[in-house]
Chains A and B, each alone.
Chain A
Amino acid sequence: MDKTVPDLAAAVAGITDGMSLMVGGFGGSGAPIELIHALIDQFKATGSPGRLTIINNNAGNGRVGIAAMIDAGMVEKMICSFPRSADPRAFTEKYLGGEIGLELVPQGTLAERIRAGGSGIPAFYTPTSYGTDLAAGKPIAEFEGRHYVQERWLKADAALIKAELADLLGNLTYRKAARNFSPLMAAAAKLTIVQASRIVAPGEIDPEHVITPGIFVDRIVEVADPQQEEALMRDGVAYA
């Protein structure tokens, strides 16, 4: 088995208008910049994919990555916990202009909804958001004398993930805190696309060290020395 694809364009092929897309990363840590930019390249060349729903903790920073997708006009809706950043102009301008939708989800609930989506669990109860505006309209239940809010699973048509090592079977490791949402998203998407800094033969990742088992991964592309959002911002890069 070999899940590698030859280049970034092949990696993001088949993502089409109106899809939901999970994007790994927390701020710039774990953001799959090259995969996102490959999708922007495809949009510039063909006008597709547009009307995307993007699921990420944030809503882009500066003019690169998710912010550049928003600038390019590819994004219809964000599902995130914290649509603010050092430079949130891309999202803020479109949001205040009514040009982009927002589903605001508490961070732990977002993580658990994605985990549930990848685990075949349609709903669960959490104390988070009970009694707040973000619980409006959701079923409430009492367990052991406390109130809990029912939340539903979150799944996606595709996920874009940044890993450190991948083997040909799709087993993954991550670098430091770049792991964050990625193992959850890899399981919750129908098509999981991974950029890895290095692709190795099966057996070269110690099974004890695998974080995301290859069963959750569909495509792998090697991106040595991946770009980091903070460095691109410091250099004033605007991708869209």
Chain B
Amino acid sequence: MSTRLSNAQIAWRAAQDIEDGAYVNLGIGFPELVAKFQPPGRHAIFHTENGVLNFGESPPEGEEDWDLINAGKKAITLKPGAAFFHHADSFAMVRGGHLDVAILGTYEVAETGDLANWSTGPRGVPAVGGAMDLVHGAKRVAVITDHVTKDGRPKLVERCSLPLTGVGCVTRVYTSLAVLDIEDRHFVLREKLPGISVDELQGLTGARLVIPATVGDLVAPEV
């Protein structure tokens, strides 16, 4: 058994918590995978910042319509009941509290719910897109991430060291090792891989974990 979930498995786990009929925004890149793993019988309605509700998968190569793209500038298709709207309406949906769930990637997330996912520091060209808007307004803001960086440092920390995207905005974290809620400025462990002990998980986490009486097993299929 693998010692950590793949990105696809993390996305699968996050998808299990999306209710039927939920209005959902997925961040560009890794979070877009979540759309592939909706449980049978559930149909979320996906929102993209550039003005589409209820879009579907990418079209086959060669059939792209470049007036029909998502926020990541990838070609998309429409599902029956889709809608187009301008950018101010699109962000009214975001900031106005009309989205049920936003799922984003991250560099760091703090026990306070602070998120840092837009800038790795002053070098290079800064770019923020819709991230700072998305973290305000969605009823649930979740992040999906590896539990640690590529060189093994914790991504779940007491305080973010990188420039913030938003303050106190994240409510749930899905990692390659665990599922955690952020409650009262602490990471509360809800599920962990069966093969890892609480002590090992704490050692890979940069903030104190709150361990409730019951912690579920984090089990994802091979996807």
Which of A3-11, A26-34, A39-47 binds B? Answer: A26-34
Which of A69-77, A214-222, A225-233 binds B? Answer: A225-233
| B52 neighbours in A (Cβ, 8 Å) | 177
Closest to B115 in A: A132
Minimum Cβ distance to chain B for residue A57 (Å): 8
Interface residues of B in 77-121 (CB under 8 A from A): 84-88, 90-91, 94-95, 114, 119
| B67 neighbours in A (Cβ, 8 Å) | 29-30, 175-178, 228
Number of residues on chain A facing chain B (CB within 8 A):
54
Closest to B69 in A: A29
Closest to A126 in B: B95
Interface residues of A in 75-112 (CB under 8 A from B): 81-86, 88, 91-92, 95-96, 102, 104-112
Assess whether A129 is in contact with B132, with CB atoms less than 8 Å apart: yes
Judge whether B175 is part of the interface by a CB distance below 8 angstroms: no
Minimum Cβ distance to chain A for residue B62 (Å): 12
Assess whether B88 is in contact with A111, with CB atoms less than 8 Å apart: yes
A182 to B163, CA, bound (A): 31
Assess whether B127 is in contact with A107, with CB atoms less than 8 Å apart: no
A230 to B130, CA, bound (A): 22
- Give the residue of B66, B95, B125 whose beta carbon is less than 8 angstroms from that of A228: B66
| A183 neighbours in B (Cβ, 8 Å) | 86
| B50 neighbours in A (Cβ, 8 Å) | 26-27, 29, 57, 177, 180
Q: List chain B positions with a Cβ less than 8 A from chain A.
A: 48-52, 64-69, 73, 84-88, 90-91, 94-95, 114, 119, 124-133, 136-137, 163-167
CB-CB nearest 6 A-B residue pairs: A108-B91, A108-B133, A131-B167, A111-B87, A127-B136, A107-B130
A-B contact pairs, 14 of them (CB 8 A): A26-B50, A81-B129, A83-B126, A84-B127, A88-B125, A109-B133, A111-B87, A127-B137, A128-B133, A129-B132, A130-B166, A131-B166, A179-B84, A230-B64
Given A130-B136, A131-B164, 18 more pairs with CB closer than 8 A: A26-B73, A28-B69, A29-B69, A81-B128, A86-B73, A102-B126, A106-B132, A107-B49, A108-B132, A128-B136, A130-B167, A132-B167, A133-B163, A174-B84, A176-B68, A177-B48, A181-B87, A228-B66
